[in-house]
Amino acid sequence: MIRIVAQSVVKDDKREEYINLAKELIEKSRQEQGCISYGLFQDIKNPSIITFIEDWEDQKAIDLHNNTEHFKRIVPLFADLRVSKSEANFYKEV
């Protein structure tokens, strides 16, 4: 299993738009083969920090996900809604 933690700082006035796009991405991604879980979390102290936490069976599943229509369409739209580039970290269980 591979866990992805992708954090973004979203512009205050774009937060609702970001979350709505993220919900569409999550709904479609959860249906993909190899997706174990896919969630969106908002920082309690700073609501502009929004984080995807995803669990995938393997790298092949992530590669397939990254090439889906919904990923290729939605992810680039996030760029204009963020304060800066997002940070993504990939983890394996030890």
Q: pTM for this structure? A: 0.92
CATH pick for 2-92 out of 3.30.70.100, 3.40.50.1010, 3.30.1330.80, 3.40.50.720: 3.30.70.100
- Tokens representing 49 are 């920090």
CA neighbours closer than 13 Å in the CB half-sphere of residue 46: 9
Q: In what order do the strands lie in the sheet with 87-92?
A: 35-42, 49-56, 2-9, 87-92
pLDDT 10s per residue in the chain (94 long)?
999 999 999 999 999 999 999 999 999 999 999 999 999 999 999 999 999 999 999 999 999 999 999 999 999 999 999 999 999 999 998 9
